[in-house]
Structure 1
Amino acid sequence: MNICWKRIRPALAALACVGLAGCNWVLLDSKGDVGIAQRDLIIICVALMMIVVIPAIVLTFVFAWKYRAGNTKAKYIPEWAHSNKVEIVVWGVPLIIVAILAVIVWKSTHELDPYKPLDIPGEPLHVEVIATDWKWVFVYPDLGIATVNQLNFPAGQQLAFDITSNSTMNTFFIPQLGGQIYAMAGMRTQLHLVANEPGKFDGMSGNYSGHGFSNMKFIATAMTNEQFDTWVAEVRSSPEQLSFDEFKRLAVPTRKEPVRHFATVEPLLFKKVIDQFIGVGENTAATSGHNVETKASQE
């Protein structure tokens, strides 16, 4: 058994290295102010934790080597039980690191609040995001247009997202721009992002929501202002219109939904999507109570 394991172990290690070679470290390749701040926070926190982790790992091997059975020069102290110096290091260093981390996290939590508008000049571009099974619907209320699985915007302009879900819980996530926030039925969450430069960024849901979850992706494209204006004109030339009835047909579960454009959008569509879930529990309870009363009166 030991011989087999010795032969298999190098193969497993090589396989792990091959797997890691395909990793896409998008979180460390941030292209927006929020993403860069979150990336730096991750690096700082990991570096601080490594102050404890790395010495602990190194000392494990040092102690094992120094106090091995064959080392007769190692000092043998069978009655040793306590050392103030060891206690200060063991407890003091982690406490200091935890205190530093607490201050950093408290400060960054307030600075990177997703509901907090970014300190960027100019009016933000408002986008209403609706998660459905299994696609993303993006409504541009100020422009009167909508898309499916395509998010375009000008680089350098703040994006103010209002986010909800038409069914199960999802998370709206563009890793290179930062932030990740839940999309929940009957609720509205908010997120503010910006892309510092033009480019294409992968968007996704980070919360499993059923069979089509793996294809619930979109491309977020940061453009120049001229390119964005051209794209808006292209969307407005589409023959499709997004009414609430059309949205309900669109929201039927599908997989690998292609990009679609809607030249017009029914006013307050986003609010209607949220409102359809408000009071559902109360209405159900009231209906059940009415049915019980009706049945009792009939008896």
Structure 2
Amino acid sequence: MAGVTALAMPCAASAAGFLEPAGPVAAAQLSHFGTISALMLIVIVPMFVALPLVLLRYRRGGKGTYRPDWEFNWGLELLIWGIPVALVAALGTALWNHTLKNDPYRPLGPAPLVVEVIALDWKFLFLYPEQGVATLDLLVLPKDRPVTLKLTSGTVMQSFIVPRLAGQIYAMAGMQTQLNLIADATGDFTGRNTQYNGLGFATQSFTTRVVSAEDFASWVTGAKAQPAGLDAAGYKALLPPSVVNEPVIYGRFTPGLFDQIIASFAPGMAGGHQGHEAPAGTGTPAAAAPAAAHQHDAHTPEAAQ
């Protein structure tokens, strides 16, 4: 019990960003950033070198030849147009290769840990379907195990990111997106929403806690012992905009809740993605009507009070 309490307490999450990757996906993104930066220096460095030289040479009284009838020079034209064309081709090739290699939907290994993520105002709800537990504003992951995040939104579109582990991916109501990642270092990493969604946007962050496989198993055992549970009524209570000061752990949640949330916005999408099927006959849950209403009025100043 002490273990789950310690893991649930919000620690001072590391402020380091993508420049200190803690997983192969983030490391690949940092490498791609370095490639782009190096290619752009091909333009930036000559420009800053040439500018003062041109100003010095062609100033009044300088050594530059005055040619008022000058019109065309093949060498200069090739330089002006050739370098940008080659640079665009190199940037495009690098981006193409990086995009194919690091597709966020591409699984990173067998038997991934599946976590269902629901973006709310101004918090994130995490469901662990295999473990049967849920958390609010706390994402606990085992080190060195592939993770598949399935994302949707219970409100407006949001952008999910844990900079030290992977890039951003959008979460949209009535739809499912996906992000695969692996953490190869333990610790607390900051995750947040980067898509403006109202008055509490600046405070919408969460802790991603990476622990060893043994500690993760212990955390799951402790989480299951928590008395709080999450059902349709509990989810409805989370819909009003609010800021979570401390993470919340639910010892159980209603199976198929993730699909039901998607169906509350787009009934035809519930069975149209690789998620956990909602129980037969559930249809749109009790949370559906509040979710639809919340989509329209939650971002007014009155709703935030």
TM-score relative to the length of structure 2: 0.80
* Alpha-carbon separation, structure 2, partners of 1:234 and 1:212: 31
Residue matched to 2:41:
50
Which residue in the other structure is 1:210 paired with?
A: 198
Contact 1:134 1:212 (C-alpha < 8 Å) held by counterparts: yes
Q: Is the 8 A contact 1:145 1:263 kept in 2?
A: yes
Contact conserved, 1:160 with 1:191, CA < 8 A, in 2? yes
Q: Larger helix proportion, structure 1 or 2?
A: 1
1:137 to 1:211, Cα distance in 2 relative to 1, 3 A: same
For residues 114 and 98 of structure 1, the distance between their equivalents in structure 2, rounded to whole angstroms, comes to 24
Task: Identify the match of residue 195 of structure 1 among 183, 191, 216.
Answer: 183
Asked if 1:224 is matched to 2:215, the reply is no
Partner of 2:87: 97
Aligned equivalents of 1:133 and 1:154: distance in 2? 27
CA separation in 1, counterparts of 2:267 and 2:238?
24
1:10-30: CA deviation from partner (whole Å, max 9, x where unpaired) = xxxxxxxxxxxxxx6612111
2:22 is aligned with 1:31:
yes
In the TM superposition, 1:113-262 aligns within 5 A as: 113-118=103-108, 121-262=109-250
Q: Identify the match of residue 68 of structure 2 among 72, 78, 102.
A: 78
2:100 equivalent in structure 1? 110
Does the residue aligned with 1:43 lie in a helix, a strand or coil? Answer: helix
Query: Deviation of residue 143 (structure 1)?
Result: 0.3
Counterpart residue identity of residue 127, structure 2:
V
Rounded Cα–Cα distance in structure 2 between residues aligned with 1:169 and 1:103: 30
Q: Distance in 2 between matches of 1:117 and 1:202?
A: 23
How far does the alpha carbon of each residue in 1:193-241 deviate from its partner, in whole angstroms, 9 at most, with x for none?
A: 1111112110000101011111111010111111111211221111101
For the 8 Å contact 2:137–2:244, the answer to whether it is kept is: no
Q: For structure 1, list consecutive stretches of 5 or more residues without a partner in the other structure.
A: 1-23, 284-299
Question: Equivalent residues in 2 for 1:260-275 (5 A)?
Answer: 260-275=248-263
Query: Which of 1 and 2 has greater Rg?
Result: 1
How far apart, CA to CA, are the structure 2 residues paired with 1:222 and 1:258?
Answer: 18
Whichever residue aligns with residue 179 of structure 1, its letter is G
**Stretches of structure 2 lacking an aligned partner (at least 5 in a row):** 1-14, 269-288, 290-305
Give the secondary structure class of the aligned counterpart of 1:276.
helix
1:103 aligned partner, one-letter code: T
Aligned residues: 255
- 2:37 and 2:248 map into 1 onto residues whose CA distance is 41
**In 2, Cα distance between the equivalents of 1:52 and 1:74?**
24
Q: Distance in 1 between matches of 2:40 and 2:33?
A: 11
The aligned amino acid for 1:33 is P
Q: CA deviation at 1:156?
A: 0.5
**Partner-residue secondary structure (3-state), 1:27:** coil
Q: Distance in 1 between matches of 2:246 and 2:240?
A: 14
Segment of structure 1 superposing worse, 137-146 or 56-65: 56-65
Secondary structure class of the residue paired with 1:26: coil
Does structure 1 conserve the Cα–Cα contact (< 8 Å) formed by 2:115 and 2:150?
yes
Q: Helix, strand or coil: the match of 1:142?
A: coil
Shift of 1:257: 4.1
Contact (CA 8 Å) 1:149, 1:257: kept in 2 or not? no
